[in-house]
């Protein structure tokens, strides 16, 4: 049985690895001419790291990145609003959260899969359905496959052509991401910080020795023509402004923040969608890639049983739909709350966040971190 995965991002690569470890014949078709990561850095939460432990590569990821054991929300001057220590979850689940450069993660995954199983410069333009799938690419080539997995992102060609679903939602928020050398990271060791200002926020985390991944988000109504990014965030703590200023402009990526309005069909027959193709979310919970990784985990486990492809994909959708939709909807709400501009609303928000009982926080995080699925 020949399986084709369209898309060589984290979801596609992890799915390929999970299937390969179950003895499946898998090839990835990636539109780019190289496996070039977008977004600079990523935080792999405890749910994602459990999957990578299951796949036997979590130690490689830890070595290439930086462990994160503390998550803090602060005001614009880095005064703590809330703090969540992850030691309880580390002990419970046997893994740590890891912040890593996407390029390093992609390399680890591609090495495990085998570069010979990744075909580059293969931009999908058309799919023919019959007893098998025939994929036509922009370069004029085509291939046949028995099983098709769409891991081709929020603008998925597989979803558009075979499911005809997908409505984009614009948050009206604009985002910059970057990586820089930063020599003041000792006090931020193993800490991920997100600072909330008026209609703005800034997050940063160490991803290696003296290397920081950061993101800055602002409501579109606060954008200025011919803006200077550090000026847009000049009311934030001087260290935040310093991080922006010390990042080479070529290392900064700009994007709009959008998600995919939840859809209820991810599969039919011998085709399914994973990751952003199925459930693109805003980045406010740090769960976009993590949910794609969970997709890969469930599909890999199901393929390890003696079931038809159709049964595998039907059960995958049934098992994953509720959690993915919970992440999408919760992340959307957090994004709105984090960008309040009214001073009274900000005070109330901060008070409520600061005084949320720890048992409620732990219950919410357990819901995100658990990868217990009734796979039978």
Provide the CATH number for the domain around residue 358.
3.50.50.60
Q: Is residue 275 part of a domain?
A: yes
Cβ within 8 Å of residue 38, ≥6 positions away: 102, 253
Q: How many domains does the chain have?
A: 1
Give the domain range for residue 64.
Answer: 2-169+259-369
Q: Which two tokens stand for residue 316?
A: 């995958």
Q: Which of 243, 231, 232, 225 is CA-nearest to residue 199?
A: 232
| 58-74 pLDDT per residue, tens | 999 999 999 999 999 99
Q: Based on the number of CB atoms within 10 Å of its own CB, is 180 exposed (0-12), middle (13-18) or buried (19 or more)?
A: buried
Q: Is residue 232 part of a domain?
A: no
State residue 189's pLDDT score.
Answer: 87
Rounded to whole angstroms, the Cα distance separating 283 from 334 reads: 10
Mean pLDDT, rounded, for 231-258? 93
Question: Would you say 162 and 129 are in contact if contact means Cβ atoms under 8 Å apart?
Answer: yes
Select the highest-mean-pLDDT range: 32-36, 96-100, 189-193, 251-255: 96-100
Q: Is residue 233 part of a domain?
A: no
Q: Is residue 51 part of a domain?
A: yes
State residue 185's pLDDT score.
Answer: 57
Q: Is residue 96 part of a domain?
A: yes
Name the DSSP letter for residue 300: H
Q: Is residue 249 part of a domain?
A: no
pLDDT-derived band of residue 187, with 50, 70 and 90 as boundaries?
confident
Q: Is residue 331 part of a domain?
A: yes
State residue 232's pLDDT score.
Answer: 93
State residue 184's pLDDT score.
Answer: 60
Q: Is residue 337 part of a domain?
A: yes
Q: Which of 150, 166, 160 is CA-nearest to residue 29?
A: 150
Mean pLDDT, rounded, for 22-51? 90
Between vectors from CA 105 to CA 100 and to CA 111, what angle results, nearest 5°? 155
């Amino acid at each position: 049985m020949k399986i084709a995965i369209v898309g060589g991002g984290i979801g596609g690569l992890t799915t390929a690895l999970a299937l390969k470890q179950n003895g499946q014949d898998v090839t990835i078709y990636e539109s780019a001419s190289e496996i070039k990561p977008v977004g600079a850095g990523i935080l792999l939460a405890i749910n994602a790291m459990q999957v990578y432990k299951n796949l036997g590569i979590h130690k490689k990821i830890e070595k290439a990145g930086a462990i994160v054991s503390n998550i803090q929300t602060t005001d614009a001057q880095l005064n703590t609003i809330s703090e969540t220590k992850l030691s309880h979850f580390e002990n419970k689940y046997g893994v740590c959260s890891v912040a890593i450069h996407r390029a390093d993660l992609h390399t680890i995954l591609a090495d495990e899969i085998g570069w010979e199983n990744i075909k580059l410069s293969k931009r999908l333009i058309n799919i023919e359905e019959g007893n098998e799938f025939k994929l036509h690419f922009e370069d004029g080539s085509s291939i046949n496959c028995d099983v098709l997995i769409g891991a081709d992102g929020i603008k998925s060609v597989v979803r558009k052509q075979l499911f005809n679903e997908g409505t984009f939602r614009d948050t009206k928020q604009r985002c910059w991401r970057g990586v820089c050398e930063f020599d003041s990271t000792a006090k931020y060791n193993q800490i991920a910080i997100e600072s909330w200002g008026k209609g703005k926020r800034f997050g940063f985390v160490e991803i290696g020795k003296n290397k920081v991944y950061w993101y800055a988000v602002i409501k579109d109504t606060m954008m200025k023509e011919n803006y200077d990014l550090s000026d847009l965030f000049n009311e934030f703590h001087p260290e935040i402004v310093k991080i922006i200023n010390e990042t080479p402009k070529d290392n900064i990526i700009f994007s709009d923040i959008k998600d995919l309005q939840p859809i209820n069909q991810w599969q039919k027959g011998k085709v399914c969608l994973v990751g952003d193709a199925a459930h693109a979310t805003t980045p406010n919970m740090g769960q976009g890639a993590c949910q794609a990784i969970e997709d890969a985990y469930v599909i890999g486990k199901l393929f390890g049983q003696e079931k038809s492809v159709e049964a595998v994909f039907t059960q995958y959708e049934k098992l994953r739909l509720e959690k993915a939709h919970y992440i999408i909807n919760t992340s959307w709400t957090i994004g709105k709350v984090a960008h309040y501009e009214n001073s009274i609303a900000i005070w109330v928000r901060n008070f409520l966040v600061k005084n949320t009982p720890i048992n409620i926080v732990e219950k919410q995080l357990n819901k995100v971190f658990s990868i217990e699925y009734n796979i039978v």
